[in-house]
């Protein structure tokens, strides 16, 4: 999960927690919102500190080539 997806989850969770005043049978909207906020925060921390880093590897080609002969005595 990237930084953008983490922020999106946090915003969506904040909307569910603080802005919605509705109820769905069997679902606690506030609880779902807090779960999304916490999941987004953990994803943001993971993406910022633990996530994969883009590293550039520079490979140098050899500057000279050696041509060798192999003799097989029969």
pLDDT score, position 1:
73
pLDDT by residue, tens only, the chain of 74 residues: 788 999 999 999 999 999 988 888 889 899 999 999 999 999 999 888 876 666 666 666 666 665 666 666 65
Whether 7 contacts 44, CB under 8 Å:
yes
Domain with 12, as residue range(s), is 3-50
pLDDT score, position 47:
85
DSSP 10-68: HHHHHIIIII----BTTB-HHHHHHHHHHHHHHHHHIIIIIS--------PPPS-----
pTM attached to this predicted model: 0.65
Domain-embedded: residue 45: yes
C-alpha neighbours within 13 Å on the C-beta side of residue 47: 13
Domain-embedded: residue 11: yes
Total domains in the fold of the chain: 1
Domain-embedded: residue 58: no
């Amino acid at each position: 999960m990237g930084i953008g997806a983490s922020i999106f989850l946090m915003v969506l969770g904040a909307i569910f927690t603080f802005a919605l005043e509705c109820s769905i049978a069997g679902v606690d909207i506030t609880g779902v919102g807090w779960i999304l906020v916490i999941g987004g925060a953990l994803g943001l921390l993971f993406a910022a500190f633990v996530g994969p880093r883009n590293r550039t590897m520079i490979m140098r080609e050899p500057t000279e080539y050696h041509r060798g002969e192999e003799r097989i005595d029969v």
